[in-house]
């Protein structure tokens, strides 16, 4: 990057293997308006500086040097001085000079000397600004309204001296603030999932919600008058982060807005030169720091956010030129301590941020019943992941044409979480323009997140949509490419009762290895084959060469204990294991029926009872993997059971139509697909009507694919996961061709062109419309009437 500008000075050094962790250094390759972030050196320096401040803080805290709130205030006043000295805001390095003088004394009174400096920074006028304090000025900005005075021992003074020796001009305020927040904050902060957000991730919100819309307007200005008017509008633009933490999002937003201001002023000058129009007279406005609003529940976070923005203010003057004076500090009382969900939000033009991550099941233990009951009453959507309420509140607060961008747990795009957030946004005028469907999030909150940017009630429908860095035609509330209007699909009554999750034994004693199972089956005191059965898991489907069960299970179905006792050896195993485990269960019914599974799924058993086999799928995985299972095989809850035994039905389930629908409607576990029958199967519109010829074409393609797939697994001694990974890499072209043939046969049954079979976006769009038509009663739907006839025909033909 401009090698002549930094000769013999690498700006960032990393291997290709480390590239994913350093891609922010190459941002300029994607967009010339983005500067590369050579962050390694600054990050290391920032971490070292924060470490010294943290050790100083912990030392004061450990010896109870002052009340906690005063120690926190004292620490933030020190941090501001360290920044300010290297940024030229405190001439003569008065803090460093004071610390060095104190270290030379035998019995230094640090509370008095440093406290005196802080008092001066809170005083107007030049009175007492002498000696090493001659370069000080009135600061206040509420930071020094209550000057803290804390005694430091010699070891603590040394920590402060070492911290002061860093070049704080090079310290990244956002990283430093995040690290400091982790030290100064209390347990509640980590409890609600707060953490440091990387700048590259922050830009996934700031760029589409703030930068790109403004840049488009700047680039289309055609006259000096128009550009000056736009500058006035830009400098009045207000931004809110309602969960601001230590101010990272607001800092980046301010930096980018100052950059836009600079670019717009350059354009004004160019337009004046190009058109001959007189340049504007007087001083052009600048983007004010006071246009930033923030809310956070933690007082310490608010303190850090303000200091972060004050430092950013000074840094941006160095980069983009003058703004409002840095001293006295700009009033940042608009960065306020409050519960954002329970306080009024200010009128702004854009909302950005990273609300806290807390799953629905953790709300009551973490926040208490009273608070959760208030959420339920206030928002009327039940108990959801905490971030859902922020999405809803943000959208309700926006005015038409305004934009928002938030980070949320990826539950916001899934089933009930989606209905309460993104589907609500889409149904009330919101248009999602830019999103990341799922990505791993750094920091303590080890979750996968979604990033969503939207505009409310735009006067002109957006035409540019980006999903996971790919240009798409629209983004639906499930964060899949498709209809931007985001129609919600409904459950189809005719589909119900044909798809199930497997059993939950609830006790390790139910599971048997081969040796124990063989011994039971060899016993002659009972017909143990009736209750000792093969046990299928999702891993078996994905990894076993034959997709066969690897374990056994004792399954008494719903037999009463007296009937179960006719299999004494099996009961003895459960009595010595499961019965003991369940004695601590809070579910009294489960404890009493210790010989039965915790979840028996009687409706599934009834549905597959008349079948000779059933279709089974691994419930989670990179792709949807299906296999046949014998009727006697017991599936666990990581297996999705489809109550079909005919090749036509298996063909539809194996098709790209079903796969695309599963990806669009299912939830995700981290980044893996997670199939749920209610969300996926119950909403999936099967081909109907279908001619006998179409049914047979699908059945034949299904048999050919399944047989060839089985041969390849056995010949190469690999399971389905490895097989399909290799196919994705270009191997097994004949298997890929068989999949295409099946996909085209299924597409034909729907009445679609062949090209649709390999276009997931088109598939989902068409199936969504079909679902709505069926659910709303616009067409007859009876797709399973031919299944029994197919089964009988296959039995007569002797097909597998």
The three-state DSSP-derived secondary structure of 8-74 is CCCCCCCCHHHHHHCHHHHHHHHCCCCCCCCHHHHHHHHHHHHHHHHHHHHHHHHCCCCCHHHHHHH
Which backbone phi and psi does 561 adopt, to 5 degrees?
A: -60, -40
Locate all alpha helices (DSSP H) within 130-210, ordered by sequence.
154-164, 173-184, 187-191, 199-206
Please say whether the beta carbons of 687 and 744 come within 8 A: no
**Percent of residues, the chain, with pLDDT higher than 90:** 63
Domain shared by 617 and 755, yes or no: yes
Q: pLDDT tier at 414 (50, 70, 90 boundaries)?
A: confident
Q: Which helix (H) or strand (E) holds 722?
A: helix 720-728
Output the pLDDT for position 3: 34
Output the pLDDT for position 177: 72
Higher-pLDDT residue of 585, 260: 260
d(CA 720, CA 677): 22
Output the pLDDT for position 583: 87
Output the CA angle 272-274-280, nearest 5 degrees.
0
Flag whether pLDDT at 611 surpasses 70.
Answer: yes
pLDDT tens digit sequence for 140-177: 878 899 999 999 999 999 989 988 888 888 877 777 77
pLDDT tens digit sequence for 669-718: 555 788 988 889 999 999 999 999 999 999 999 999 999 999 999 999 99
Q: pLDDT tier at 108 (50, 70, 90 boundaries)?
A: confident
Flag whether pLDDT at 69 surpasses 50.
Answer: yes
Domain shared by 44 and 115, yes or no: yes
Higher-pLDDT residue of 414, 378: 378
pLDDT tens digit sequence for 212-258: 999 999 999 999 999 999 999 999 999 999 999 889 999 999 999 99
d(CA 95, CA 89): 12
Question: Is residue 475 assigned to a domain?
Answer: yes
Question: Is residue 193 assigned to a domain?
Answer: no
Domain shared by 751 and 625, yes or no: yes
Higher-pLDDT residue of 632, 591: 632
Among 568, 596, 624, give the residue marking a domain's end: 596
Largest CA distance in the chain: 106
Domain shared by 551 and 642, yes or no: no
Locate all alpha helices (DSSP H) within 381-471, ordered by sequence.
386-397, 415-420, 422-427
Q: Which residues pair with 500 in a beta bridge?
A: 641
Output the pLDDT for position 510: 96
Flag whether pLDDT at 336 surpasses 80.
Answer: yes
pLDDT tens digit sequence for 566-578: 999 999 999 999 9
Domain shared by 297 and 236, yes or no: yes
Least Cα distance to 472 among 510, 414, 432 occurs for: 432
Question: Is residue 27 assigned to a domain?
Answer: no
d(CA 166, CA 156): 16
Output the pLDDT for position 443: 60
Flag whether pLDDT at 593 surpasses 50.
Answer: yes
Q: How far apart are the first and last CA of the chain?
A: 62
Mean per-residue pLDDT for 48-66?
A: 88
Ranked by mean pLDDT, the top range of 40-49, 480-489, 670-679 is: 670-679
Output the pLDDT for position 8: 37
Residue 256 belongs to domain spanning: 198-338
Q: Is-cis flag, bond preceding 358, omega within 30?
A: no
Q: Which residues pair with 404 in a beta bridge?
A: 351, 454
Q: pLDDT tier at 184 (50, 70, 90 boundaries)?
A: low
Output the pLDDT for position 32: 46
Q: What is the torsional sign of CA 440, 444, 446, 448?
A: negative
Question: Is residue 11 assigned to a domain?
Answer: no
Mean per-residue pLDDT for 647-656?
A: 98
| β-bridge pairing 532-536 and 634-635 | parallel
Domain shared by 665 and 689, yes or no: yes
d(CA 79, CA 93): 13
Domain shared by 513 and 440, yes or no: no
Flag whether pLDDT at 41 surpasses 50.
Answer: no
Output the pLDDT for position 419: 79
Question: Is residue 187 assigned to a domain?
Answer: no
Domain shared by 76 and 225, yes or no: no
Output the pLDDT for position 588: 81
**Both structure tokens of 471:** 């240009």
Domain shared by 644 and 771, yes or no: yes
Domain shared by 371 and 319, yes or no: no
Domain shared by 780 and 723, yes or no: yes
Question: Is residue 721 assigned to a domain?
Answer: yes
Among 453, 488, 523, give the residue marking a domain's end: 488
Among 153, 171, 189, give the residue marking a domain's end: 171
Q: pLDDT tier at 789 (50, 70, 90 boundaries)?
A: low
Q: What is the mean pLDDT of the chain?
A: 87
Output the CA angle 188-192-198, nearest 5 degrees.
110
**Domains: count for the chain:** 5
d(CA 488, CA 295): 33
Output the CA angle 720-20-539, nearest 5 degrees.
20
Radius of gyration of the chain (CA): 33
Please say whether the beta carbons of 713 and 541 come within 8 A: no
Question: Is residue 10 assigned to a domain?
Answer: no
Domain shared by 390 and 473, yes or no: yes
d(CA 173, CA 177): 6
Mean per-residue pLDDT for 748-771?
A: 92
Question: Is residue 532 assigned to a domain?
Answer: yes
Q: Helix (H, G, I), strand (E, B), or coil: what is residue 30?
A: helix
Output the pLDDT for position 254: 98
Tokens 């004050």, residue?
Answer: 310
């Amino acid at each position: 990057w401009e090698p002549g500008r930094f000769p013999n000075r690498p700006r960032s050094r990393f291997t290709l293997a480390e590239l994913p962790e350093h891609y922010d250094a190459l941002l300029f390759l994607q967009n010339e308006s983005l500067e590369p972030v050579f962050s390694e050196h600054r990050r290391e320096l920032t971490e070292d500086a924060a470490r010294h401040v943290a050790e100083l803080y912990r030392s004061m805290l450990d010896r109870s040097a002052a009340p906690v709130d005063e120690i926190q205030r004292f620490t933030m006043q020190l941090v501001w001085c360290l920044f300010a000295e290297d940024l030229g805001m405190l001439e003569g390095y008065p803090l460093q000079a004071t610390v060095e003088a104190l270290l030379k004394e035998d019995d230094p009174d640090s509370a008095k000397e440093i406290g005196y400096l802080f008092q001066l920074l809170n005083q107007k006028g030049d009175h007492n600004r002498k000696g090493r304090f001659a370069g000080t000025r009135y600061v206040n900005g509420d930071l020094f309204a209550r000057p803290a005075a804390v005694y430091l021992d010699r070891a603590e003074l040394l920590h402060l001296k070492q911290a002061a020796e860093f070049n704080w001009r090079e310290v990244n305020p956002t990283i430093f603030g995040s690290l400091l927040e982790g030290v100064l904050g209390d347990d509640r902060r980590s409890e609600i999932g707060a953490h440091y957000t990387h700048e590259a991730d922050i830009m996934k919100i700031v760029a589409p919600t703030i930068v790109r819309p403004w840049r488009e307007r700047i680039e289309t200005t055609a006259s000096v008058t128009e550009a000056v008017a736009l500058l006035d509008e830009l400098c009045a633009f207000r931004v809110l982060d309602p969960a601001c933490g230590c101010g990272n999002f607001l800092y980046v937003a301010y930096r980018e807005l100052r950059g836009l201001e600079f670019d717009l002023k350059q354009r004004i000058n160019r337009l004046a030169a190009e058109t001959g129009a007189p340049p504007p007279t007087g001083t052009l406005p600048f983007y004010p720091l006071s246009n930033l609003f923030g809310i956070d529940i933690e007082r310490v976070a608010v303190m850090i956010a303000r200091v972060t923005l004050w430092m950013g203010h000074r840094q941006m003057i160095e980069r983009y030129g003058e703004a409002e004076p840095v001293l006295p500090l700009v009033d940042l009382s608009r960065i306020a301590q409050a519960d954002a969900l329970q306080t009024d939000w200010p009128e702004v033009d854009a909302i950005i941020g990273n609300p806290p991550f807390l799953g629905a099941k953790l709300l009551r233990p973490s926040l208490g019943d009273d608070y959760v009951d208030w959420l339920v009453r206030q928002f009327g959507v039940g108990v959801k992941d905490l971030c859902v309420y922020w999405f809803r509140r943000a959208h309700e607060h926006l005015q038409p044409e305004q934009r928002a961008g938030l980070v949320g747990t990826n539950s916001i795009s899934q089933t009930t979480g989606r209905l309460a957030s993104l589907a609500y946004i889409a149904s009330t005028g919101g248009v999602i323009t830019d999103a990341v469907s799922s990505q791993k999030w750094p920091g303590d909150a080890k979750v996968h997140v979604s990033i969503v940017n939207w505009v409310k009630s735009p006067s002109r429908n957006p035409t540019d949509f980006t999903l996971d860095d790919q240009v798409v035609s629209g983004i639906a509330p499930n964060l899949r490419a498709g209809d931007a209007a985001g129609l919600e699909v409904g459950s189809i009554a005719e589909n119900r009762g044909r798809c199930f999750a497997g059993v939950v034994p609830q006790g390790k004693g139910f599971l048997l290895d081969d040796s124990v199972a063989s011994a039971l089956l060899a016993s002659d005191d009972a017909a143990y084959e009736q209750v000792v059965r093969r046990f299928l898991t999702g891993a078996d489907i994905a990894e076993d060469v034959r997709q066969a069960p690897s374990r056994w299970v004792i399954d008494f179905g719903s037999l009463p204990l007296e009937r179960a006792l006719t299999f004494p050896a099996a009961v003895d195993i459960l009595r010595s294991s499961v019965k003991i485990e369940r004695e601590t269960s809070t579910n009294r019914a489960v404890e009493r029926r210790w010989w039965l599974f915790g979840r028996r799924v009687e409706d599934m058993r009834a549905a597959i009872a008349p079948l000779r086999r059933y279709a089974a799928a691994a419930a989670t995985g990179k792709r949807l993997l299906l296999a046949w299972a014998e009727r006697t095989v017991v599936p666990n809850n990581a297996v999705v059971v489809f109550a079909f035994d005919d090749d036509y039905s298996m063909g539809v389930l194996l098709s790209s139509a079903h796969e695309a629908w599963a990806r669009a409607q299912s939830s995700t576990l981290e980044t893996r697909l997670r199939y749920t029958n209610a969300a996926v199967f119950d909403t999936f519109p099967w081909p109907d009507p279908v001619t006998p010829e179409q049914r047979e074409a699908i059945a034949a393609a299904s048999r050919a694919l399944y047989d060839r797939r089985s041969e390849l697994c056995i010949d190469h001694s690999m399971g389905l996961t490895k097989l399909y990974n290799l196919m994705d890499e270009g191997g097994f072209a004949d298997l890929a061709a068989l999949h295409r043939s099946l996909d085209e046969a299924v597409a034909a049954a729907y009445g679609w062109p062949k090209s649709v079979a390999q276009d997931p976006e088109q598939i989902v769009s068409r199936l969504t419309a079909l679902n709505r038509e069926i659910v709303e009663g616009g067409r007859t739907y009876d797709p399973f009437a031919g299944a029994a006839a197919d089964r009988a025909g296959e039995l007569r033909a002797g097909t597998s």
